[in-house]
Amino acid sequence: MYTRELLNYIENSPTAYQAVDAAVKILEEQGFVRLDAKDAWELESGKGYYTVQNGTSIIALRMPAKRIDGIMLAASHSDSPTFKLKAVCEADTGEYIKLNTERYGGMILSSWLDKPLSLAGRLIVKEGDAIRSVNVKVDKDLLLIPNVAIHQNRKHNDGFVFNAQTDMMPLFGMSSAKGTLISQVAEAAGVGAEDVVSADLYLYNRTPATVWGADDAFFSAPRIDNLMCAYGTLIGFIQSTTAENTLQVWSCFDNEETGSRTKQGAGALWLRDVLERVCQTQGVDLRRVLPTSMMLSADNAHAKHPNHPELSDAQNAPRMGGGVVIKANASQSYATDGISCALFSEMCKKAGVPTQGFANRSDSAGGSTLGSIADTLLPVNTVDIGMAQLAMHSSYETAACADNAHLVNASRAFFETAITLDADGNYHI
């Protein structure tokens, strides 16, 4: 359940620009109304709204029926590791035209070789005295990064080290293709090549997603990290009922893979600014509702690897299909603590959603995510969760079909929960 819908969302979301566009379409079909930052906001009880930053980050909210006594906020991210085209990107080797790229985020380089690739992102177009952004997806097999034959590199299977400047440049065409890239991308966007003044273009893997396994237990696709969490929390948000006294917020931020320190990242003031504006429309002081608010930071987790179980902590190694993973780290790479873990675990228990724990091996540094960054600006109880997957940061990743329903159900339970504090400082849900 939900797997085919997720794979359709991934297919339509080759970059963060399209991921936000696809989310906007889902929200508008449910009656959510766009808010522009430059306008005065007038918000009605029980109604849904959304606002977008830079075309790659989005915050959606549903106003409570009565008043704002707390906020239930889910946060995920729209970006994935890939390659971005440099400003001057066509490189003529004499025989071929290849494209000059640079890495975005930390990826498994070898997973990008010998795959059908193309370009997506946005073009910046000048029309008269107006400059506007046009999202684009080149929907054809346009590029490929070729491996070196084993006969020419006998050490290829002995730990070959890839150089991003020499080994990872995609082949675009024969020498006759020189100077045609922008015209091809502009044609896909439906604009004139002469009107394109700049671009943010990224490679994406066109290998089709698939459901597989003896019992169809698994699915594989590009960008499962983190579109699986973005989509699952969005559907849980859409399906949740309007709360009486809780502001329900779904958010998806760009640039998590590069540290979140951008105007559209979770480390920006944007999230807090939006929440302050919403609270002000209701005559509510945001600071007073933070103690009864909670953030669900959703970003996938490492499953126990079938060939390398030694890479996981034996007691804290989640399995695919085993339910929502609650991630914890002593150094706060994940924001989960005892209180947030207990609150979320109880929500899942009431909803009949299985949970499991994740921690890194004590002798191995793990990754991090946006939760600990976002709650430095919005200090609320935060739990870091994800779904167990294999091959994280590969161009083609794997997870379990059953976990899509687990995530949606857990997210819906989260949004439908109201947190209260009694006079003794005890939490109630």
How does pLDDT run across 259-306, given as a tens digit for each residue? 999 999 999 999 999 999 999 999 999 999 999 999 999 999 999 999
Q: Which pLDDT band, with edges at 50, 70 and 90, does 365 fall under?
A: confident
Please check whether residues 112 and 183 belong to one and the same domain.
yes
Q: Does one domain contain both 61 and 183?
A: no
Q: What is the pLDDT of residue 359?
A: 94
87 alpha-carbon distance from chain centroid: 25
Distance CA 309, CA 302 (A): 11
Are 117 and 145 in contact, with CB atoms under 8 Å apart? yes
Domain stops at, among 205, 237, 271: 205
* Domain range for 54: 3-80+222-428
Is 146:123 a contact under the CB 8 Å cutoff? Answer: no
Of all helices (H) and strands (E), which one includes residue 399? strand 397-400
Same domain (yes/no): 233, 119: no
Query: Domain boundary residue among 163, 180, 205?
Result: 205
Cα–Cα dist 341/381, whole Å:
9
Residue 50 lies in a domain: yes
Q: How many of the other CB atoms lie within 10 Å of CB of 273?
A: 14
Q: What is the mean pLDDT of the chain?
A: 97
What is the dihedral angle through the alpha carbons of 44, 252, 190, 117, rounded to the nearest 10 degrees? -160
Do 138 and 30 reside in the same domain of the chain? no
CA distance 85 to 1: 37
CATH of the domain at 143: 2.30.250.10
- Give yes or no: residues 199 and 241 share one domain: no
211 domain-assigned: no
* Structure letter (DSSP) for residue 145: B
48 and 92, same domain (yes or no) = no
User: Is the same domain home to 395 and 343?
Assistant: yes
What pTM was estimated for this model as a whole? Answer: 0.97
Q: Please report the pLDDT score of residue 155 as a whole number.
A: 85
CA count, 13 A, side-chain hemisphere, 307: 2
Whether residues 383 and 258 fall in one domain: yes
- The beta strands (E) that lie in 271-352 are given as 294-298, 301-302, 324-327
Q: Tell me, yes or no, whether 390 and 414 share the same domain.
A: yes
Locate 27 and state its tokens: 């929200």
**Residue position matching structure tokens 């508008």:** 28
Same domain, 41 and 117: no
Q: How many domains does the chain fold into?
A: 2
Residue 214 forms part of a structural domain: no
Residue 367: the pLDDT is: 81
> Do 393 and 246 share a structural domain?
yes
Contact 153, 225 (CB under 8 A): no
Taking 90 as the threshold, does the pLDDT of residue 368 lie above it? no
CATH number of the CATH domain containing 384: 3.40.630.10
Q: Are residues 40 and 89 in the same domain?
A: no
Q: What is the pLDDT of residue 243?
A: 97
CA pair distance 322, 324, nearest whole angstrom: 7
Per residue in 337-359, pLDDT tens? 999 999 999 999 999 999 999 99
pLDDT (tens digit per residue) in 193-210? 999 999 999 999 999 999
**Distant-in-sequence contacts of 123-130, Cβ < 8 A, 24+ apart:** 123/185, 123/186, 123/189, 123/191, 123/196, 123/198, 123/199, 123/201, 124/196, 124/197, 124/198, 124/199, 124/200, 125/189, 125/191, 125/195, 125/196, 125/197, 126/195, 126/197, 127/195
How far apart are the C-alpha atoms of 43 and 47, rounded to whole Å? 7
Positive or negative: CA dihedral 13, 223, 81, 172: negative
Block residue for tokens 């193309």? 118
Segment holding 357, helix H or strand E: strand 355-358
Instruction: Name residue 174's beta-bridge partners.
Output: 96
CA 58-62-64 angle, to 5 degrees, is 150
Dist CA 139 CA 142 (whole Å): 8
Q: Who's near 305: CB < 8 A, 6+ residues apart?
A: 311, 312, 390
Mean pLDDT of 181-193: 97
